[in-house]
Chains A and B, each alone.
Chain A
Amino acid sequence: MIDRRAATLLLKRMLYIGIGLIIIFYQLLPLKTTPPTWVGPDLLMAITIVYAIRRPAYIPIGSVALLFLFSDFILHRPPGMMSLFMVIGCEWLKRRSQHLRVATFGVEWLTIALVIIMQAMGSHFLLTLTMAPPPPVGLSAMQAMGTILLYPVLTGLAHHLLGIHKSPTDDDSILRFRS
């Protein structure tokens, strides 16, 4: 029983890493090499935040850190910065996921919006502080807005298509102490 549960947990954790790698892979395809006039949402970040609130047991701190550090290196971003903010944001959300489960969706959405905006502002601030050129403000603001707007879509898909509900007595909240 315990073994099967541990195996399922491991499988679900691998699934998150797999989804992340597929997203990174798709972003790397050289479909469009012209500079964009608009920026879409950061899908990997949105999915990770959905996980952090709905299924916190499936994204241990190690997988978030490793996946985002890998994407930092591969996607030519300042290494460690994005992963730093994602680890802090996800751990903060995971600690609150118990409360967010019983809260209304509005509260949940506001919370994740706060996390995403803090991440965008934090990275801008950190880059300015260390005298590295930050990306254009307009584009990063657009990306943060896109990610915030994508969140209800993703949770809706997870709720209706995949049947991932937020129930306070879900068994993965029990699994949580194993992580």
Chain B
Amino acid sequence: MGDQTTATVTRSRRRAVLLGCLLAVAALAFVLAIIPGGKRAEVEITREFDPEVIVTLPTVGPFDLSITKPVVYLWIAVAVIAVVALAVNRSLNLRPGRFQLTIETLYELTRDGIVGSVMKSGAETWFPYVASVFVFILVSNLLGLVPLPLAEHHQFGFYAATANLFVTLTLALFTVVFTHYAGVRKNGPLTYLKNWAPASAPPVLKQLIWLIHAVSEAFRLVSLAVRLFANMLAGHAILAVFFAMALVFQNYLVALVLQGGSVFIYMFEIFVAFIQAFIFAILSAVYIGGALDQEH
């Protein structure tokens, strides 16, 4: 006992302190778990995704022109992009400050990472479209993670414009139309369609390959639209569940644990926003590049 060194005494004291802390945390968790929680609340998650009408405009023919929540979010995305672009354009320096450096990094990522690495021909022609799609989807996705007072009765709510199938269908329609337009403009319509099957294939197999390629081309519209839509929808549904789950369990310990879980799922949603915008843009570049160089 007398020949315990100083190191051993400090180590055992440290171990005792650690044990004490663990016991205190366990006691606190136990106390939080057993005290009676607040009132139970019913939460309906699907109401978050209803396109709520903000300004009612008249209906022209079959089109209802009223301004709904997705429309306002799309306008906000456009306004954000315009303001940022104009602000960076106003003060361009040869030695960029932090803000200009961020925009330049985004630009180089799109030019070299997305268009340059995928499109062999037509990179300069189609870079504006791919970059626009990338930035627009990125800003729309990220805007869905900022609480804005546009939910019903002017409450603060989360909503992403890209969580609406019609928005993503429109964007996918742009990509598909541009794919066929690029192919037809380069090769002429008949050659473009004929190139969907390789020329050196036996006759019946060639028709079969052409059919399979045609079906897969037709499916691209659906897959592009549904991928973005379902990712954003699922992400927001999970976020809503995490945020509101504490109201359903009437327990303080569960609420505390859910706070940490909500932070993690929110960070994951930011990551998913970037990834989905990137995937949409790079798949658009792949499709348009594929239509441009069909002979390979």
Instruction: Determine if chain A interacts with chain B.
Output: no
Q: Which residues of A contact B (CB under 8 A)?
A: none
